[in-house]
């Protein structure tokens, strides 16, 4: 996947200015290879505290597996150096109708209990001067999903980033997700899911447009 470190820097600054950034004390990209070593050691301590024998051949590599998974997969969205390249083209065709990308995967981790929540996002926008490559929208969704999150902030971050990249307020997003922290523990709701949305511009000003988007994204 092509990345755009410079765009990531500007998106991060914009989210911070809007009060939407994830609470990050130290950028993950600044910590280098020592980060995996730190997580590996901490995971080993957790497993030891649980009474597990981490010299067993089934468990011996688990601390390193967890460290690699955290840094290279589950939480890679903490590193803005890996922000996806978002190719836009001039809206020469003067398209001024709704564009929707349906069911972009949301694969994230609850920041309260560090267990997964999974679902999908539907993203719509009306172009002004720019049109975004369709594959870039799921990549932006995935980038912000790959960090400890709450669904409400995730929704707002994706909305703000796309509004910034597209230079338009006419952006709408709906996320529907199942939270393992509700299914595996606590209330133990096996069939419960959560829906969040964020809309702005004409999606807020024109009820008919808002209803069109919701109708087209409703299964």
Rounded Cα distance between 209 and 4, Å, is 33
| 33, burial (CB in 10 Å: exposed 0-12, middle 13-18, buried 19+) | exposed
Residues 183 and 189: beta-carbon distance below 8 Å: yes
Provide the 8-state DSSP code for 84: B
Catalytic residues: 110-113, 151, 179, 181
Exposure of 107 in the CB half-sphere (CA atoms within 13 A): 11
């Amino acid at each position: 996947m092509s990345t755009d470190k410079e765009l990531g820097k500007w998106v991060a600054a914009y989210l911070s200015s809007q009060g939407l950034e994830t609470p990050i004390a130290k950028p993950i990209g600044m910590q280098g290879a020592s980060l995996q070593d730190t997580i590996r050691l901490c995971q080993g301590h957790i497993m030891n505290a649980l009474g597990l024998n981490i010299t067993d051949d089934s468990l011996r590599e688990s601390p390193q597996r967890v460290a690699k998974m955290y840094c290279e997969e589950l939480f890679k969205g903490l590193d803005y150096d890996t922000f996806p390249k978002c190719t836009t083209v001039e809206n020469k065709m003067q398209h001024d109708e709704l564009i929707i990308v349906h069911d972009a995967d949301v694969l994230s981790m609850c920041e309260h209990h560090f267990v997964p929540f999974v679902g999908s996002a539907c993203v719509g926008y009306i172009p002004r001067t720019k049109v975004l490559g369709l594959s870039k929208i799921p990549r932006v969704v995935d980038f912000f999903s790959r960090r400890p999150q709450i669904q409400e902030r995730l929704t707002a971050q994706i909305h703000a980033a796309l509004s910034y990249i597209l230079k338009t307020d006419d952006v709408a997003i709906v996320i529907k997700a199942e939270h393992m922290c509700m299914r595996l523990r606590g209330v133990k709701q096996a069939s419960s899911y959560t829906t969040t949305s964020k809309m702005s511009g004409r999606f807020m000003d024109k009820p008919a447009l808002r209803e069109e988007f919701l109708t087209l994204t409703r299964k």
